[in-house]
Amino acid sequence: MANSGRVRVQKFGRFMSGMVMPNLGAFIAWGLITALFISTGWIPNERFAKLVGPMLTYLLPLLIGFTGGKIVHGIRGGVVGAVATMGVIVGADVTMLMGAMIMGPVGGLCVKKFDKLTEGKIAGGFEMLVENFSAGIIGLLLALISNILIQPIMTAILAFLTIGVNWIVYHKMLPFSAVFIEPAKVLFLNNAVNHGVLAPIAVEQVKETGKSVLFLLESNPGPGLGVLLAYWMFSKGTAKASAPGAIIVHFLGGIHEIYFPYILMQPILLLATIAGGFVGQLTFVITGAGEVATPSPGSIFALIAVAPKGGLFPVLLGVLTSAIVSFVVAMPFVKKNAAKMELEDGDDMLEMAKKSVQNMKDIGKTENIYFACDAGMGTSAMGASKLKKMLKEAGKTEIKVEHVAIDAIPPTAQLVICQKSLVDRAKQTSPNAQVFGINNLVNSKEYKEIVETITNANK
C-alpha cells in the first residue's frame, strides 16, 4: 500500500511538472528579458520591457495548456487545451499558470473522450470535417466555461495562496518549508514541487516586487553540495571516488538528482539537507534574496543568470551557508559509515552486483535499453551515455540505448534501467519490459555485469 501510494504521488507530480519542463526555455527567456530590460533591470529598455507582460500573461500559460492537452491526447488534445486555456486567461488579474495546468489536460481529455465515442462511426470522407469542427466546438465550450466558472475560482485560490505565502515570508517562517521540500526532492518530486507548486505563486510576486524568494527554495544547490563534499572528504571506496564528478554535475550542471542516491545510501543524511535548506532559506529571507524566474536546471550559473540587479550577493550567500551547514551535519554520519562502505565496496559488493543481474540471464537477444528517471533529462541521460560507451567498447553498437521520462517508456522497451525507488512506476508504465533498479544511475557496479550478460545473450 505504501509503495502504491508513493507511485500515485510520483505520477501526479510527474504529470504536473511534465506540463512545465518542456517549456522551461520559454520561462528562462522571459526571466532573462525581465532581468535585463525592466526599469530596475541590468540594462533598462522601455521597448524590450514591453515583452515581459504579454509573455507572462499569454505565452507561458498557453504553452503549458497546450503541453498539458498534448500529454493527454497528442497534438489534437494540445490545440483544444490551448483554446480552453485562453478562456481562463482573458480578463484575469493574475497570471493563470495554475489555471492552464487544469484546463490544458481537461481540453485534451474531452477531445479524447469524443474521439473514443465516435471511433468507427464517421462516414468515409467526413473524417477531417468532424475532427476540425469537433475540436473547435469543444474548445469553444471549454473556453466559455473556463472564463465564466474556472477563472474566478482559480483567481480566488491563487490570491489565498499568495496571501498565505506572503504571511509566512513576513513572519520569517519560510525556512521551515525545508522540512517538506528536501525529503520531497529525494522522492523525485523535486520538479513537481518547483514547477507545479512554487512557480505559479512566484510569478505573481515577480509582477509585484520584481523578484521572488520562492524560486530559490527547491533550486538551491547548497544542501546537496554539502552532502557531496562530505562524501568526497570523509567517505571511502566508490562513493568517495564518484563524489567529485557528482559535485560538478550537481553544482555546475544543475542536475540535483545526482545526489539523491548518496542520500538513499544513508537516509539519516536527510537531516543534513533539511538543516542546510533551513539555514539557506533563512539567509534568503533575512537578506531579501530572490530571483526573477525559475533557475532551472538548478545550476549555480542559472541562479546567477536570473538574479535581479543588485541581488546576486544574497543569493550566493544563501547557497554558501546552506552548503556549509549541510556539510557540517553530514560529516559525522559519513565518517561513521566510511569503513562499512569501504568493506561493501570490495569483492562482496561485486558479488552482490553479479547476483542482482542474475535475473537478466533469460532476457534473450537485446535490441534496446531505456534509462528512465523522473524528467528523462538528468541522471537517465548520464546513465545511458555511460552504458552506451561500455557497449561500444564491447562491440555491441547495434543495441539502442536511450533515456526517457519514467512515464514515457515506449511499449517496445525490452530492458528498463532506473533508480530503485522508481521501479514500481516503471513496471506500471511498461509491464512487458524487464525493469532493473539500481542505486546510482551514474556510477554502478551493475553496468559491467549488464554488459557482459547482454553480450553473452546476444551471441
Catalytic residues: 373
Task: Report the C-alpha gap between 107 and 137 in whole angstroms.
Answer: 11
Place of cell 539500481: 438
End-to-end CA distance of the chain: 42
How many residues belong to the chain? 459
**For the stretch 297-335, what's the b/e string if a residue is b when 16 or more beta carbons lie within 10 angstroms of its beta carbon?**
bbbbebbebbbbbebeebbebbbebbbbbbbebbbebbe
Task: Report the C-alpha gap between 104 and 112 in whole angstroms.
Answer: 12
Radius of gyration of the chain (CA): 24
